[in-house]
Amino acid sequence: MNGNRSLVDFHILFEIRSEFTRPRYTGREMRVLFVVATVLALAPQLRGDSAVAVRTIARGTDSRMTAHRELVVRTAGWWQFIWHEHSGSFDPPELDFSRHMVIAVFAGPSPEGTTIEITRVVQSATATTVYYRESTPVTMVSTGRRTSPFHVIAIPATRSTVAFVKITAS
């Protein structure tokens, strides 16, 4: 009897340990876990956020803008005004405002060597987010000369609100 009892005790002990060491999922639970993992992995695409095709119109360090500005231009009249304020010319680059709009970031007067770059534009159904970087070299010997960096781009037209996000260097 004692020999049989020890085998039964061992079997019960083994079953208890195996219950705690390996999870048991049914086929339905595994499918639910798979769907949840897939949704989490695809969350940005499911939200409708997407990177936008960007076309640079102008970029440089010689703008006539006298202050930092983050601008959205949706009409030809406003475009002509901004271009004149920026460049002094009354002839802005041609753009079809029924299909495109202009995004511009002007740094205003800055230390020599400063640059502006619009790095990414993301659109969703309700908002457009413009990410840009302003870089000032820290090792450059200053000549005291000031520049006015800028980046002007065209993106597909949208009526959504536009937010600008300055990316700080790390």
Asked if residue 58 and residue 29 are part of one domain, the reply reads no
Looking at residue 23, its pLDDT comes to: 59
Looking at residue 28, its pLDDT comes to: 77
Residue 26 binned pLDDT confidence (cut-offs 50, 70, 90): confident
Q: Which of 97, 162, 88, 151 is nearest to 124 (CA)?
A: 162
Residue 130: exposure state from Cβ atoms within 10 A (0-12, 13-18, ≥19): buried
Q: pLDDT of 46-77, one tens digit each?
A: 556 788 999 999 999 999 999 999 999 999 99
Residues 133 and 119: beta-carbon distance below 8 Å: yes
Whether the predicted pLDDT of 169 surpasses 90? no
How many domains are contained in the chain?
2
Q: Measured between alpha carbons, how far is residue 50 from residues 27, 38, 99, 157 in Å?
A: 34, 18, 18, 14
Whether the predicted pLDDT of 122 surpasses 90? yes
Asked if residue 76 and residue 114 are part of one domain, the reply reads yes
CA distance 38 to 47: 14
Asked if residue 147 and residue 98 are part of one domain, the reply reads yes
Asked if residue 88 and residue 6 are part of one domain, the reply reads no
The CA dihedral of 160, 166, 167, 170, to the nearest 10 degrees, is -160
Structure token pair of residue 3: 């020999």
Asked if residue 30 and residue 65 are part of one domain, the reply reads no
Per the structure, the complete domain to which residue 15 belongs is given by 2-41
Residues 67 and 150: beta-carbon distance below 8 Å: no
Asked if residue 56 and residue 37 are part of one domain, the reply reads no
Structure token pair of residue 158: 């949208």
The overall average pLDDT reported for the chain is 82
